[in-house]
Amino acid sequence: MRFSLILATLGRVEEPRGFLASLGDAALVREVIIVDQNVDDRLGPVLAAFPHIPFIRLRMAPGHLAVARNAGIPLVRGDIVAFPDDDCTYSPDLLEKVAARLAALPAPGMVTALIASERGTPSTGGQAPARPGPVSRDNVFVTAREPGMFIAREVLARLGGFDRRFGLGTPFTSCESADLALRMLEVGIPAVFDPSLVVWHPDSRLSAAGLARARGNAAGFGACLRHHHYGTATVVRYLLRPLGGVLLSALRGDRTGIAYYGLTLRGRVWGYRVWRDQAMP
């Protein structure tokens, strides 16, 4: 099994360089498809520094992450497709371990990895399971994140990639990965999460940039809950969590936490309220 890695990137140089370096000898990489949304050639010297990696470079106008990733799918020639963020890195031997896990599935499917900061803590909201197990409706929001999704090519061909109504460039700036995973589960495609597989990703939730994205990310979460018909009890539980975060942050005098969880609460409510189902573009 060999991998096609679709890396959509905009505005960064050192971070994509770090990701490519984390691939080591890239023996299992069929190609890295760079969806380059920059208006200049800042990535040219970066790609030239890795002559052992086969690149396909696709130039696109900036603005929509799901569209950019989907644009790379028809160019895939590998057996397994992944969508690394341009600021993540792979842990050693990750691709070898993923290939073995995928080969053990009863049918073509998906294996997902833990997304962790360099401190080893989760770098996205929610605590992932400590043990390997199936991706499910109950855990999909913490077990199926784009940088850690490794999907058989035929699965993407069957499902058509990401729903472009979700993700950066839309009002619902998250949960395109959860939506894709939930569509897999609905048609019986096997998907497993393994926390021993690790993708390193910085935790920027409480940074200025993270706060700027918090409401849109939460709106995507709320919209995904409604789109996939989660029950009232589940929806209420996901609304109570950020409310609890606001209260705990207030007790601690943590203004950043109050802002983050407040934006998260308002975004989830708004996303759930305004989402309307329609055919995927």
pLDDT score recorded for residue 39: 93
pLDDT score recorded for residue 203: 80
The mean pLDDT value for 54-62 works out to 94
One DSSP character per residue, 186-251 reads HTT--EEEEEEEEEE----TTSHHHHHHHHHHHHHHHHHHHHTT--HHHHHHHHHHHHHHHHHHHH
Q: Is residue 281 predicted with pLDDT exceeding 50?
A: no
pLDDT tens for 123-182 read 566 788 989 999 999 999 999 999 999 999 999 999 989 999 999 999 999 999 999 999
pLDDT tens for 195-230 read 999 999 988 776 777 788 999 999 999 999 999 999
Residue with tokens 């963020």: 85
pLDDT score recorded for residue 124: 64
Overall fold of domain 3-200? Spore Coat Polysaccharide Biosynthesis Protein SpsA; Chain A (3.90.550)
Domain extents in the chain: 3-200, 208-274
CA geometry: angle at 121 spanning 35 and 225, to 5°?
65
